[in-house]
Amino acid sequence: MSVKPLIILPDPVLRLQSAKVERVDAPLLKLADDMLETMYDAPGIGLAAIQVGEPVRLVVIDLAKEGEPRAPTIFINPEIVALGDGVNVHEEGCLSIPDYYAEVERPDTVTVSYLDAKGKQQQIEAGGLMSVCLQHEIDHLNGTLFIDHISKLKRDMVVKKFRKRYRA
């Protein structure tokens, strides 16, 4: 496993639509392992392949708290099949937008269909932090960032700040 460099806002790669994974094979699983290593190193709780420059529909998540054993989950071709009727407001951050956090309103639950690391079709119904994380990471696969869910004024300020910071 190796740590990969993260793609940082305002890099246009973050706005790409990720392609469907056609085959679960050794190179894909190596990418997932590298993504986990990158996520743990950052540290973070979720990472989409596009954040390391790979435009494929692959997400890794591990919600284990510090001191708990790692519990990584690999989501290949994750698709949201249902959203809850309730609303959850959660402070979100992103490894591709370092040191910026904002409250984001999302559906309180989500049902996601995906392939696991063995290529087997799975479905997960999630609430709480897992729901937020799944929606956030699947947004990445569609070229959407969490700042797209906040006011235009705040979003424009964040983008301007990052353009200035990474121009140098």
Residues annotated catalytic, as ranges: 137
3-state secondary structure of 36: helix
* Pick from 152, 137, 121, 124: nearest CA to 59: 137
DSSP 112-166: EEEE-TTS-EEEEEEEHHHHHHHHHHHHHHTT--GGGGS-HHHHHHHHHHHHHHH
* Pick from 72, 7, 8: nearest CA to 36: 72
Contact of 78 with 57, CB cutoff 8 Å: yes
C-alpha dist (Å) from residue 49 to 13, 116, 155: 11, 15, 23
Edge-to-edge strands of the sheet including 109-115? Answer: 46-48, 58-61, 73-83, 109-115, 121-127
